Structures are given as C-alpha cells and as structure tokens.
Structure 1
Amino acid sequence: MKPYCFANNQINSSEKAVIHPMDISLIRGYGIFDFFRTSNYTPLFLIDYLDRFIRSAEKTRLLLKPSKDELASIIFELIQKNDLESGGIRMLLTGGVSENHFSPVEGSLFIFCEDLDFPPKEKYINGVKLLSAEHVRAIADVKTTNYAYPVWHSGDWKSQGAEDVIYHHKGLVSESSRSNIFMIKDGEIATPDSHILHGITRKRVLEISGKVNIRPIKFEEILAADELFMTSTTKKILPITQIDNNKIGDGKPGNETKLLMEKFKGMESKSSA
C-alpha cells in the first residue's frame, strides 16, 4: 500500500486509515469495492469504474457522499501524491456501525493506491487451468466485499495447479471468482448473460471483438470450446487451456484469443497516452 490514501473524509497517511471493528462490512461482510489500474499516471477507463461503484452503492443502499467528479478529483490527487505511474487503485465503501449490527447505515469511504503485479508471462503464453465449482455469487452484478467462498476454496487451487475457479449452476456457466469468461467455438465468440459482474475489461472486449453473443452457456459447451479466456482488471485477457482434467481445444492459447490480447493492448495504450 502506498503512503497516502483517502480516509476519514480527507487525504491522509495510509497508516491512519482505520475501521471500527463492529462495522457490518467486517461482522456481516457487507460492503462494496472497486479496483482499477493506472498507466502513465492515467487511471484507465476511470468513468466506467466510477459509474459501476456508484451503481453498486445505490443497489446495496450504501451512502456514497462524494459525487463522481469529486471522486475523480480525489483519485487524481492520490495518483500525484503517491507518484503512481503504474499501479492499482482500490475504492472501498463500508456498511457502517448500526445499532442492530445488521442494517446498513452511513459507512466509511476509503481509497487506496497499491502496487500491482500481473500473472507471469508464461501464463499468457501457455494458458491456465481452472477448477469447476457449483456456485452462484450473491448479488453477482455488484462488486461486494464478500469473497468468503472463493477465499476458502482457494486452498485447493494451488495443490491442483489451478489459477482460479469457473462457477456453474443448474448446468449453466456464469463467471470465475474474480473474472468474466469468454468462449470461442466455430468462429463464434460468446459470454454468459446472467449471474455475472459486468466487468469493465469485459466491456472493452465486447467493443473490440465485433459481434459477441451474450447468452446462456452450458458447462458442456465450455468443455467443448475451441478457445477459452478470462478477463479482469488484474489479468487483462488470460487464456484458459484446461478445466479440471479437460483440455480446452488443443491445450494451447488460440489464435483468436491472441488477436484479442493484441487489440486490447492497443486500446490500453491509446487510453493512457
């Protein structure tokens, strides 16, 4: 974490950022966050992330006092004070300390600047393995702080050589624990339509891909895909070459995925210029 953050309604030393232990974001797991990157001192796709954060606050009935313009101003000041040429910015809004220890009240807003590491280069070259899990994330279209299930489940990932999980329920795929999912089959690019977070990287991929079918996708379709990849702020576009013990396609990142990776790289370069 970088030296300066936004806490207690002002820019402060990060060491002074504190939260009450009875805040329902701690005792009930009720809060929201968002995370985005900077490149060349520019917050990438900032308006999209701020819009989603504001929507999340509204949907979860959490009071977010600063306006979008005020949030942007705070973020640009933090980037300069922390000399954050390239890194991550995390916004967090808590549920507050309520009398019944359950209902949301006025909470605390924090904005932190962080170092950021991407997956190693070989994972983009060789692809990654995911484990399947029968699960639907609660309030899936909101980036809540409740990650109890994947944090608990992650204890199995490393021992099985997996990067993450892929969620499915009643035969339909939704998302990974921290990423959206795309598949390519016979030239068609498709991505799930429900029980998902509407990722900002997902949105960018929809733009650069041309026609993408947003529809229900069966788990069996995923296993039979020619190519598969995941998208997120911290992974960009990361090829998936194995689900459980099932090889995807020929077990290597496909040409369409590689092309999208290059297009996304070009889009980011223009955004940070």
Structure 2
Amino acid sequence: MKLPLSKFVWFDGKYVLTEKANVPITTHAIHYGTSIFEGIRAYWNGKNLFVFRLDEHVKRFRRSGQFYNISLNFSDSEITEAIKGICKKNKMKKSCYIRPFYFIGDYGINLHVTEKAPTHVVIFTFPFGDLFDKNGISAGVVSWRKFSDQSTPPQAKMGGNYLNSIIATQEAKRNGFDEAILLDHNGNVSEAPGENIFIVRDGKIISPPISSSALEGITRDAIIKIAKDLDLEVEEREIARSELLISDEIFLTGTAAEITPIISMDGQRIGNGKPGNVTKKMMQEYTDIVMNKNDGYSHWVTAVY
C-alpha cells in the first residue's frame, strides 16, 4: 500500500523533500530491525490541528530505544517541535497520521549495539482516516503466540518486534478474519497485532495486564482513564481464550485503530453482532476528546497552529 506521503520529511533536524530522504543499503536497521517508531494521530476539527497525547508518545519514543541502548540524539522538546513542525511545513489541515522513527545507520554487521552506534531520526506524515470499519470487524485467535519478556521486551516499539504481528496477521487473513488475536505464552489473551484488546462483561471493562505481553498502549491508557471518570468498573486481569466467546462486547484500541468494535470472534457473533453500548460510549467520548470538544481532557491535545 503506497502512502500519500507529505512533500517534506524531517530528517536529522532538517526538512528535506521526501524523495531526498534516502539511506544506504548497509543501514543496520534494514538488516536487523534496529529501528524504533511511534504512531501518532493529529485531528483537524475545522479550526486547528490537534496532536493527541504528544508528550506521552515522545516519552515512549525515547524509552523504547533505551531497552537496546539505542540513542535518540535529540531532546524531547526538539522531537516535540519537529512533530508539530512537520505538520506546519506540509500545511496539513486535515486529520493525519504522524510517524517518527529512529534507527541505527551504517554500522556494518556488528551485533554489539552501543550508545555510540550512529543513529538517524525521521518524521513523516500523511492524511489518514479509519483503519478499520467502525461498524465492527471480525477477529480470530491465531496459532502464533505473542513474544514475552523471556525473549525480547514487549514494551519496546521496535521494528523487528513487528514480524510477530505480520505473521499473525497473515494467518488471520488466510482464515478469513479482519484481524488477529494473539495469546501469550501461558495461553491467555494478549493483544491484537497492532492494538490492545478490551472485553465487556456485565458492564465491567476488562483488559489483559502488561504481564500478558500487552503493550502499555497510550490509547489503552486513555480508555481506562475515561472509563473510570465515567464511573465504569475497569479491571486489568488475565483473560482466558474461552472468555472471548462469552463476552458481551469486545473492542480494540490503538493510535491507528482508535476504538474499533469486534462483532465476531472465531466465527461466533459477539453480543447482538453490533457495537455494544459501552463500546459506542467509548468511541463517542474518544472522538470528542481528540477533536478538542471536551474541556476536561484538553491537556491531552496539542494545537499545531
């Protein structure tokens, strides 16, 4: 899928034309997946462009590299300004996706990565709408398991980590599902390839814990806080695979997916086969917040213009 990329990208502190942002074939990240990335959304509400939870994204951006001693050689404030700046430079006045990433450059075939390894930072953006059908999607549990802290840190948003997501997605698509659900090494529900998962049972919102190899998702965190503010009961605990099939509602959360209802799991209808009331409430609250229509959460959005 070719992206409608912006005219300019931010590359190591400078704005350059997208076609000029090239790297050599000896780039370490191409060979070994030594890249760190974030996915960030910005929303145009007709008056301004608002970046959702920018500070949290920038903090996680740096933290992911620290797991592997990969240096981000710009300050948090420089990255923050660059993210806003790439939107301004491209005169972006529609809702968009922003992808900052940094990676090890020309480092040969050396696997001993240290803080001194050469790194590059790039930020690009493109217009973006719905990733999934907001009326609901199908999902199925795949045979591949989510990797755990026993092998590599699940909390690091590393390029190489997402090969696990790719092979899970391929299996789900072959099985006729829109999205995959991965189990952890103990056979409990972990997450989707690029999203966290929530189930609803008897009005209670439940999500797998971090110990189930679930990413500490920024949208996941937002939904937990929103639900608690609405006096809804929220629980983080292990979820057995069989519990998916008896859930009243299931939904996914993520920067790209936003809030996406799952209306069919492993070929079985969930609830009445439509987005449930709790899910729809979360979707509406989330939309109002990212569009800066809820003053109680205005600290979660950053104006670009």
How does the TM-score come out when normalised to structure 1? 0.92
**Partner in structure 2 of residue 36 of structure 1:** 40
Percent of counterpart pairs with the same letter? 27
Alignment coverage as a number of residue pairs: 270
Partner of 1:109: 121
* C-alpha displacement of 1:160: 3.9
Secondary structure (helix, strand or coil) at the match of 2:73 reads coil
Q: Which residue of 1 aligns with 2:169?
A: 154
Alignment RMSD, CA only? 1.8
Contact 2:252 2:262 in 1 (8 A): yes
Cα distance, 1:180 vs structure 2: 0.4
The answer as to whether partners of 1:8 and 1:17 remain within 8 angstroms in 2 is: no
The question of 1:23 aligning with 2:27 is answered yes
2-side partners of 1:93 and 1:103: how far apart?
A: 18
Note the C-alpha offset of 1:227.
0.6
Q: 2:67 touches 2:153 (CA, 8 Å); kept in 1? A: no
Matched, 1:207 2:216: no
Paired residue for 1:191?
207
Indicate conservation of the 8 Å contact 2:207/2:239, yes or no.
Answer: yes
| Matching residue within 224, 248, 254 for 2:276 | 254
Query: Structure 1 216/158 Cα, relative in aligned 2: closer, same or farther at 3 Å?
Result: closer
Secondary structure at the residue paired with 1:183? strand
Deviations, residues 190-221 of structure 1 (Å, cap 9, x unaligned) = 10112011111111101111141111111111
Which of 191, 196, 199 matches 1:175? 191
Corresponding residue SS for 2:199: strand
Are the aligned partners of 1:39 and 1:272 in contact in 2 as well (CA < 8 Å)? no
Instruction: Name the aligned partner's letter for residue 45 of structure 1.
Output: R
**Partner Cα distance (1:68, 1:272) in 2:** 15
| Structure 2: 5+ residue stretches without partners | 293-300
Q: Post-superposition shift, 1:89?
A: 0.8
How far off its partner does 1:62 sit? Answer: 0.8
Check 1:246–1:103 CA distance in 2 against 1; reply closer, same or farther (3 A cut): farther
Matched, 1:88 2:97: yes
Shift of 1:42: 2.3
User: Alignment partner of 1:174: what SS?
Assistant: strand
| Letter paired with 1:183 | I
Q: Using a 3 Å threshold, how does the CA distance of structure 1 residues 154 and 215 change in structure 2: closer, same or farther?
A: closer
Q: Secondary structure at the match of 2:134?
A: helix
**Residue identity in the other structure for 2:80:** A
Residue 223 of structure 1 pairs with residue 245 of structure 2: yes
What TM-score do you get using the length of structure 2 for normalisation?
0.83
When residues 262 and 272 of structure 1 are mapped into structure 2, their CA distance, relative to the original with a 3 A threshold, is farther
Q: In structure 2, what is the Cα distance between the partners aligned to 1:92 and 1:37?
A: 14
Superposition deviation, residue 257 in structure 1: 0.8
State the SS of the aligned residue for 2:39. strand
Does the aligned pair in 2 maintain the 1:166–1:175 contact within 8 Å?
yes
- Displacement, 1:14? 1.2
Check whether the contact 2:9–2:16 (CA below 8 A) recurs between aligned residues.
Answer: yes
CA distance in 1, matches of 2:112, 2:35: 12
Residue 129, structure 1, aligned to residue 151, structure 2? no
CA-CA distance at 1:159 after TM superposition: 4.8
Question: 1:97, CA displacement in angstroms?
Answer: 2.8
| Greater mean alpha carbon deviation, residues 209-218 or residues 111-120 | 111-120
**How far apart are 1:110 and its partner, in Å?**
0.7
Deviation, structure 1 residue 153: 4.3
Q: CA deviation at 1:131?
A: 2.0
The runs of 5 or more residues in structure 1 that have no matched partner are none
Give the Cα separation in 2 of the matches to 1:249 and 1:216. 21
Most deviating of 15-24 and 48-57:
15-24
In 2: Cα distance, 1:56 partner to 1:119 partner = 24
- How far apart, CA to CA, are the structure 1 residues paired with 2:33 and 2:248? 38
Partners of 2:111 and 2:146 in 1: CA distance = 23
8 Å CA contact 2:139, 2:180 repeated in 1? yes
Residue 72 (structure 2) aligns with: 64
